Amino acid sequence: MGLRRFALVAVWLVCATPAFAEAARLAQQGPEAGRSLVVEHQYADINGIRMHYVTHGAGEPILFLHGFPEYWGIWKKQIEDLGKDHQVIAPDMRGYNLSSKPAGVEPYHIEHLVADIRALADHLKIKQFTLVAQDWGALVGWSFVLRHPEYVRRFVTINITHPALFNRDLRENAEQQQASQYMLLFRSPEAESFIMADDYAFGRQGMIDAARQLGAQISAEDEAEMIAAWKQPGATTGGLNYYRAAEIGPPDGQGSQGGSNLVDGLAPWQLQVYLPVLFIHGEMDPYLLPSGQVGLEQYVHDLTFRRIPDADHSVTLEKPALVTQFLREFMLEN
């Protein structure tokens, strides 16, 4: 999420009436609004936390990682379709929804987030899987691929580039620095009050309504479940601690050159990726700019791009059928 969208949210809150908002919500739900996906809810005691996850279907495994401010349900459409012939697993990452929310910033360092994914795979006795991720989940996904490529058969990233390239742009690219100013806010002590203000208006209008404006069909049930996930005690701080632990963002004017610590400690050879990678890009995303993709082929040696001109940041919500189509095509080809 970025500061430009925050301004749009503020205008929406001033101008909209409850009646108008309700009418718009009902008009955009679509014919499948009342359908409910049936999944199996499980918990895994792993890596010092209790991780909640859902599973659906059987067959070759696919693991989905959500971003901020999300939860496992961001992948419902993909779970429903791909679960017809795959074992689909979607966790609430640490700090979110029904998973543990350790206190403090250090437990959200990338080494712990990566260890969670490895421990979940071991818990499920899965030796190799397709990894699909977006937003913060994709930063964790890249970090997992760089450290444990033996677990991953294929990797799908939505909008997020290789962390070494993201670091480069956060340090050197003025447009990406401007687009990422929100990261400094998210790392600040004021972040929680901002996210939770006006009954989570940030997520309601900045994410849910923004996605609906681009064609997303989000049912009342799914909207309520998403908001309930945000309101889980400690979940807002848990999600924000990803930003704080990674020290991610543009230069802060106080001595930091920008970037993150996500690839700290990795040797140059560890930054190379040889497994098949699919990059799905919503070209309207104002926060993750295409400049970060320049040079990606120097790190990824089996790379496929799929671009969606009329998608924004929340591609999984906005274009679920197209995302699923791209996933199926990529898995068939690789």
Angle between helices 191-203 and 3-15 (to 10 degrees): 60
Comparing 92 with 38, which gets the higher pLDDT?
Answer: 92
- Residue 288: which domain range? 3-13+40-333
274 part of a folded domain: yes
pLDDT at residue number 125: 97
Mean pLDDT is lowest, of 10-19, 52-61, 154-163, 239-248, for: 10-19
Q: Which two tokens stand for residue 191?
A: 């972040």
79 part of a folded domain: yes
pLDDT at residue number 6: 38
Give the CATH number, domain containing residue 187.
3.40.50.1820
Mean pLDDT of all residues in 136-145 = 98
Digit-coded pLDDT (tens) for 270-324: 999 999 999 999 999 999 999 999 999 999 999 999 999 999 999 999 999 999 9
- The total of structural domains in the chain comes to 1
Mean pLDDT of all residues in 40-56 = 98
Rounded Cα distance, 63 and 69, in Å: 19
Query: Phi and psi of 259, rounded to 5°?
Result: 105, -140
Q: Residue type for 102, please?
A: P
236 part of a folded domain: yes
Mean pLDDT of all residues in 122-133 = 98
18 part of a folded domain: no
pLDDT at residue number 9: 38
297 part of a folded domain: yes
pLDDT band at 35 (very low <50, low <70, confident <90, very high): low
pLDDT at residue number 34: 41
Mean pLDDT of all residues in 37-59 = 96
Asked if pLDDT for residue 113 goes beyond 60, the answer is yes
- Residue 252: name the closest of 166, 164, 173, 177 by CA: 177
Digit-coded pLDDT (tens) for 178-206: 999 999 999 999 999 999 999 999 999 88
22 part of a folded domain: no
Digit-coded pLDDT (tens) for 143-181: 999 999 999 999 999 999 999 999 999 999 999 999 999
pLDDT at residue number 38: 87
Mean pLDDT of all residues in 241-258 = 95
Rounded Cα distance, 53 and 130, in Å: 16
318 part of a folded domain: yes
326 part of a folded domain: yes
Output the pTM of the full model.
Answer: 0.89
Number of H helices, E strands in the chain: 14, 8
CA dist 329 → 123, 199, 283, 324, 333 (Å): 29, 40, 20, 9, 6
Asked if pLDDT for residue 31 goes beyond 50, the answer is no
Mean pLDDT of all residues in 119-140 = 98
Rounded Cα distance, 291 and 47, in Å: 36
pLDDT at residue number 17: 34
Mean pLDDT of all residues in 12-31 = 36
**Mean pLDDT over each residue of the chain, to the nearest integer:** 90
